[in-house]
């Protein structure tokens, strides 16, 4: 499946566009997507730990703008948003 990951906040550093396109196996989960994105960082950014931390701590949302858990099943080509935590004070 082809997944278009919409990048928000700090995750925009992962691409020169506002999205990433990755291929996943059928019936993958958000957990699988996280692992695929970490593998992407290992290859493209030489394992940048800051980028990995963003992926590990971010929330993901479905096409219908609902926050989804790591067990959420991705069953078709679709858009998924990654929403990093926001720091500040």
- 10-64 per-position pLDDT tens digit: 999 999 999 999 999 999 999 999 999 999 999 999 999 999 999 999 999 999 9
The CATH number of residue 58's host domain is 3.10.20.30
> Is 70 within a domain?
yes
Domain annotation covers residue 88? no
pTM for this structure?
0.92
CA gap 54, 46 in Å, rounded: 15
**47 inside domain:** yes
Structural domain that includes position 50: 2-83
Q: Establish if 89 belongs to a structural domain.
A: no
pLDDT band for position 88 (cuts 50, 70, 90)? low
**Residue 7, both tokens:** 């990048």
Total tally of structural domains belonging to the chain: 1
Query: Is residue 33 in a domain?
Result: yes
In-domain check, residue 64: yes
């Amino acid at each position: 499946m082809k997944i278009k990951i919409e990048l928000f906040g700090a995750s925009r550093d992962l691409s020169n566009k506002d999205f990433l396109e990755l291929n996943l196996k059928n019936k993958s989960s958000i957990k699988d997507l996280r692992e695929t994105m970490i593998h992407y960082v290992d290859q493209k950014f030489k394992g940048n730990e800051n980028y990995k931390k963003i992926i590990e701590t971010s929330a993901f949302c479905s096409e219908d703008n609902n926050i989804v858990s790591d067990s959420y099943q991705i069953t078709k080509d679709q858009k998924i948003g990654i929403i990093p935590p926001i720091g500040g004070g």
